[in-house]
């Protein structure tokens, strides 16, 4: 048990950290009635100059996406159904910037165990990315449920967290509470009451309200303290002493529930004409709180435990009548159905049908979690087991679409699954990116099984099976067969149409005859704006951007994917687990825009708690290349390889090979490079298996370099020829010449290599850096050898590849070819986030624009910029730009 002194110490610690500019979470955990809300209020009271935002989560609104954020006044960009957690975190940041004053900013969140997951994730993402903000987030929650586990996971990423577990008042705090009303209260009574109530502030206050302190002392002396553990009975006794109009009013508020009710609705449900007269004594009794901050006042019972006790004391017939009245008066269909369900005495197929129809409407609006909740209620109200099973099946599928995988009725470990259960398990596995297992499970669905499904579910099953087959690197022909049948079906489901489009693109690419394969010119023939005009066209744009990124056309990829990721950020589209942010980051890396690359890769993992997509994991090591951290890069490469082994999605395998080779080029050792091809073949098969298939052009580059490392010059030449002849991008001839010259040690090849280096690979700055290194190492003894080495190092440093530049500067040492002192970029001493901020400021973005790009607050941008100025010896944006310009000029001055 945390003593009062310990609690005070931790509260002071949290306030001190936040006031000093470290965004801090004060996490208050405790069961109902143990003082979380009271402590949160006391924290706010001791900060009179602060700006305060408050929100409370409610059990009956936890299915509403971003409902908690709306209480904070956050304006959600796009629709709630489509705004993902990452984009919502940006909206939270904008709200905090808008209300921030000179003092501390305090955000109080209560009952987080009921909060919607999107709000939890959005707040967690923003907190993890904040720095320098004078922000104190006070979060109260019970230690129960999946939402609590989700919050705990997000809490681990916060810059600072101070946790307090409230498991009851100690004797000192109990005595302090007693002496608020009776200064003469003895310590013995405090000790007896603490032991009797378990230290629950709610129960202590209940006893103090029912009995004077002297009476409690006498009862304690006789060992007859009331049994406060039975709050329902205690509340029943209390209600029996109230005026009937007050009881009816209090009961009506409990029936209406949620965050309170307007007086006119309370009056109707309670059947009390003068509800204001009844509310006044209830407020004085401390049972009701009236919120007058809005245009219409709302009354609520002061604590959820008390509300439940009041509700349980309402006679069943009265409760049914009140719910029926509330249903008739409610403005929303959701509330009407909630009250009809609460009023139902037994199975009701008509009500179940209404619930199912409303769930259908919610599904069409993309509100899958709410749809699942109403379908489960329909299951409970169905009169037959078959009808109930139908609703449960549909509810499970809605939960999968909502990513609420802990709510499913089917356990994947069960054996002898029926067709429906098999579909649920397979869809869950696919959602978790466990594609091999998913395709195994879904592959056992027979044609008869699928024909027996309702048409929309048959469509879903075929799409998810096709997606799993593609993700597992299995039969593309089988995937296309499923997709063809699905597309010919009389119904479809927009919820999985994105999976269908991307599976179609990847599978078609694998099986198309050579003369029917997509071409780069064909892909680029459609106007970007035209494609982005519709949601389905945006999915196509995402596919094209992915192809452009991996094939080595970064300008086109950034144009396409930038529009796609902005749609995610604007809440207009939500088919992403970070993969398109990662692909855009890959394109920025190839283009030499490494801070931008790191920023996008970081965003690709910001909203993820688990289950990384194979393609996202494959690209992630490049972030550590930008950071210049070989050890972290090695760990990321190993994890990405494990992910691809478990889910060998072709696009992920190809991207992984390219990233492997690039990472080893910039950060690896000679030993790691020499063993790469052997390890790749052992884990994923021979690259030769893909020689006749359509693959990204950068993959040819990676295989050529890998073959060179393995001492296979003939294979290098073969891959270079495929690069040159297979639907070649504009840069293919120069790159193929470079790859061939790398393995040819003749004088003519060296001349050709140096000539290529002089011209460079301007379309692919990252590869150009490697070309310059090859030229420098080939010409060490030449008259211009030192100049070439300096030029290569400067090109690398311009990229941000200081690790490889340092290696190059340090070799070889000796009197004839001396090592060269490194000339570091003015930005080289910055942290990863500082480099991202600096890059955006150097591009001319404002604080607000930089905050939007990085999904942080303006205050965080300001904090990082002040550190950037200190580290670079500058005092303003103008001086920083000039210092960066001079640093770049110094680097390029060493051209041979």
Long-range contacts: 337-343, Cβ < 8 Å, 24+? 337/374, 337/377, 338/60, 339/255, 341/377, 341/381, 342/255, 343/319
Q: Say if CB 470 and CB 650 are below 8 A apart.
A: yes
H/E element holding 144?
A: none
- Angstrom distance (rounded) from CA 280 to CA 283: 5
Tell me the Ramachandran region of residue 522: left when phi exceeds 0, alpha when psi lies from -120 to 50, beta otherwise.
alpha
Contacts (Cβ under 8 Å, ≥6 apart) of 99 = 51, 53, 73, 105
Strand partners, 165: 29
Please report the pLDDT score of residue 227 as a whole number: 58
Ranges assigned E (strand) in 628-753: none
Please report the pLDDT score of residue 79 as a whole number: 52
Contacts (Cβ under 8 Å, ≥6 apart) of 448 = none
Q: In CATH, what number does 235-343 get?
A: 1.10.10.10
- Angstrom distance (rounded) from CA 420 to CA 449: 8
Please report the pLDDT score of residue 860 as a whole number: 95
| Cα separations in angstroms, 43 against 16, 37, 170 | 12, 10, 19
Q: In CATH, what number does 832-892 get?
A: 1.10.10.10
Residues of the chain with pLDDT under 50: 80-81, 569-575, 813-815, 894
Class of residue 413 by CB neighbours under 10 A (exposed 0-12, middle 13-18, buried 19+): exposed
DSSP string over 380-430: HH-SSHHHHHHHHHHHHHHHHHTT-GGG-S--TT-SS--HHHHHHHHHHHH
DSSP string over 732-758: HHHHHHHHHHHT--SHHHHHHHHHHHH
The DSSP 8-state label assigned to residue 251 in this structure reads: H
| Tens-place pLDDT, residues 221-260 | 766 676 555 666 777 778 888 899 999 999 999 999 877 8
Q: Say if CB 122 and CB 89 are below 8 A apart.
A: yes
C-alpha closest to that of 557 among 583, 538, 533: 583
386 by DSSP, 3-state: which? helix
Q: Say if CB 377 and CB 351 are below 8 A apart.
A: no
The model's pTM is: 0.81
| Dihedral pair phi/psi, residue 299, rounded to 5° | -110, 140
Task: Tokens for 229, please give them.
Answer: 């553990």
Q: In CATH, what number does 4-167 get?
A: 3.40.50.300
Q: Say if CB 252 and CB 322 are below 8 A apart.
A: yes
Angle (CA) 882 888 894, round 5°: 140
Q: How many Å from the N-terminal Cα to the C-terminal Cα in the chain?
A: 71
Q: In CATH, what number does 528-743 get?
A: 1.25.40
| Cα separations in angstroms, 420 against 192, 452, 461, 464, 478 | 57, 10, 10, 13, 21
Distance of CA 643 to the CA centre of its chain: 19
Strand partners, 301: 288
Tell me the Ramachandran region of residue 564: left when phi exceeds 0, alpha when psi lies from -120 to 50, beta otherwise.
alpha
Angle (CA) 31 34 35, round 5°: 125
- Angstrom distance (rounded) from CA 416 to CA 886: 70
H/E element holding 324?
A: helix 316-329
Place of tokens 């395998």: 653
Query: What angle, rounded to 10 degrees, do the helices at 201-210 and 171-181 form?
Result: 30
Q: Say if CB 463 and CB 455 are below 8 A apart.
A: no
Q: Say if CB 227 and CB 29 are below 8 A apart.
A: no
H/E element holding 54?
A: strand 51-56
Sign of dihedral through CA atoms 698, 700, 701, 705? positive
């Amino acid at each position: 048990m945390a003593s009062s002194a310990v609690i005070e110490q931790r509260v002071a610690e949290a306030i001190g950290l936040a006031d000093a500019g470290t965004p801090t979470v004060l996490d208050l955990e405790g069961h109902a009635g143990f003082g979380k809300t009271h402590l949160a209020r006391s924290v706010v009271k001791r900060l009179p100059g602060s700006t305060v935002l408050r929100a409370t989560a409610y059990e009956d609104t936890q299915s509403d996406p971003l409902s908690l954020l709306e209480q904070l006044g956050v304006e959600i960009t796009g629709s709630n159904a489509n705004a993902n957690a990452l984009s919502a975190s940006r909206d939270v940041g904008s709200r905090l910037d808008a209300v921030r004053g000179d003092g501390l900013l305090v955000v109080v969140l209560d009952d987080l165990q009921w909060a919607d997951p999107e709000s939890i994730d959005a707040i967690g993402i923003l907190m993890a990315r904040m720095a320098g903000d004078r922000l104190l987030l006070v979060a109260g929650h019970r230690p129960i449920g999946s939402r609590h586990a989700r919050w705990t996971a997000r809490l681990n990423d916060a810059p600072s967290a101070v946790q307090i577990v409230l498991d009851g008042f100690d004797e000192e705090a109990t005595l302090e509470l007693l002496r608020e009303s009776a200064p003469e209260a003895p310590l013995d009574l405090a000790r007896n009451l603490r032991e009797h109530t378990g230290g629950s502030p709610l129960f202590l206050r209940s006893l103090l309200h029912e009995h004077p302190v002297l009476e409690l002392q006498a009862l304690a002396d006789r060992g007859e303290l009331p049994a406060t553990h039975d709050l329902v009975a205690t509340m029943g006794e209390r209600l029996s002493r109230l005026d009937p109009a007050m009881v009816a009013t209090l009961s009506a508020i409990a029936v209406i529930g949620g965050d309170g009710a307007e007086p006119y609705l309370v009056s109707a449900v309670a059947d009390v004409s003068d509800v204001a007269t009844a509310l006044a004594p209830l407020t004085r009794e401390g049972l009701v709180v009236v919120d007058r901050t809005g245009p219409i006042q709302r009354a609520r019972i002061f604590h959820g435990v008390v509300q439940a006790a009041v509700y349980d004391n309402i006679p069943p017939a009265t409760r049914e009548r009140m719910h029926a009245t509330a249903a008739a008066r409610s403005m929303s269909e959701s509330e009407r159905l909630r009250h009809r369900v609460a009023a139902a005495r037994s199975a009701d197929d008509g009500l179940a049908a209404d619930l199912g129809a409303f769930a259908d409407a919610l599904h069409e609006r993309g509100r899958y979690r709410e749809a699942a909740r109403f379908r489960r209620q329909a299951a409970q109200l169905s009169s037959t087991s078959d009808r109930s099973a139908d609703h449960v099946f549909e509810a499970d599928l809605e939960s999968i679409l909502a990513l609420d995988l802990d709510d499913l009725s089917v356990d994947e470990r069960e054996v002898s699954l029926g067709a429906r259960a098999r579909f649920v398990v397979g869809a869950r596995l696919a959602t978790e990116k466990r594609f091999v297992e998913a395709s195994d499970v879904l592959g056992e669905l027979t044609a008869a099984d699928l024909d027996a499904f309702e048409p929309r579910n048959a469509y879903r099953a075929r799409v998810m099976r096709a997606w799993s087959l593609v993700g597992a690197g299995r039969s593309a022909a089988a995937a296309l067969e499923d997709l063809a049948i699905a597309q010919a079906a009389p119904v479809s489901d927009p919820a999985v149409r994105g999976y269908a489009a991307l599976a179609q693109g990847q599978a078609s690419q694998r099986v198309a005859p050579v003369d029917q394969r997509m071409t780069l010119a064909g892909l680029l023939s459609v106007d970007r704006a035209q494609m982005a005009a519709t949601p389905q066209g945006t999915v196509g744009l995402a596919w094209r951007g992915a192809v452009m990124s991996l094939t080595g056309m970064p300008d086109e990829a950034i144009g396409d994917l930038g529009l796609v990721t902005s749609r995610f950020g604007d809440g207009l589209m939500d088919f992403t687990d970070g993969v398109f942010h990662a692909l855009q980051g890959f394109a920025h890396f190839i283009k030499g825009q490494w801070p931008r690359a790191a920023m996008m890769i970081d965003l690709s993992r910001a909203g993820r708690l688990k289950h990384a997509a194979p393609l996202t994991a494959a690209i992630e090591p490049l972030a550590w290349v930008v950071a210049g951290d070989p050890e972290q890069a090695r760990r990321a490469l190993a994890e990405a390889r494990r992910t691809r082994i478990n889910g060998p999605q072709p696009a992920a395998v190809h991207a992984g090979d390219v990233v492997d080779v690039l990472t080893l080029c910039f950060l690896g050792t000679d030993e790691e490079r020499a063993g790469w091809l052997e390890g790749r073949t052992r884990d994923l098969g021979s690259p030769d298996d893909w020689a006749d298939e359509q693959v990204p052009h950068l993959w040819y580059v990676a295989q050529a370099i890998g073959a060179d490392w393995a001492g296979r010059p003939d294979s290098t030449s073969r891959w270079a020829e495929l690069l040159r002849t297979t639907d070649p991008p504009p840069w293919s001839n120069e790159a193929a010449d470079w790859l061939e010259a790398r393995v040819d040690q003749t004088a003519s090849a060296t001349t050709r290599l140096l000539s290529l280096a002089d011209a460079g690979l301007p379309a692919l700055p990252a590869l150009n850096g490697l070309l310059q290194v090859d030229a420098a190492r080939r010409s060490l003894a030449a008259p211009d050898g030192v100049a070439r080495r300096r030029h290569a190092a400067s090109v690398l440093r311009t990229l941000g590849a200081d690790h490889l530049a340092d290696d190059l500067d340090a070799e070889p040492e000796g009197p004839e070819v001396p090592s060269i002192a490194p000339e570091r970029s003015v930005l080289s001493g910055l942290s990863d986030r500082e480099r991202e901020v600096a890059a955006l400021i150097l591009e001319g973005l404002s604080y607000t624009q930089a905050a939007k790009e990085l999904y942080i607050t303006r205050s965080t941008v300001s904090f990082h910029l002040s550190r950037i100025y200190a580290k670079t010896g500058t005092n303003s944006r103008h001086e920083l730009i000039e210092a960066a310009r001079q640093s770049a000029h110094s680097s390029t001055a060493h051209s041979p």
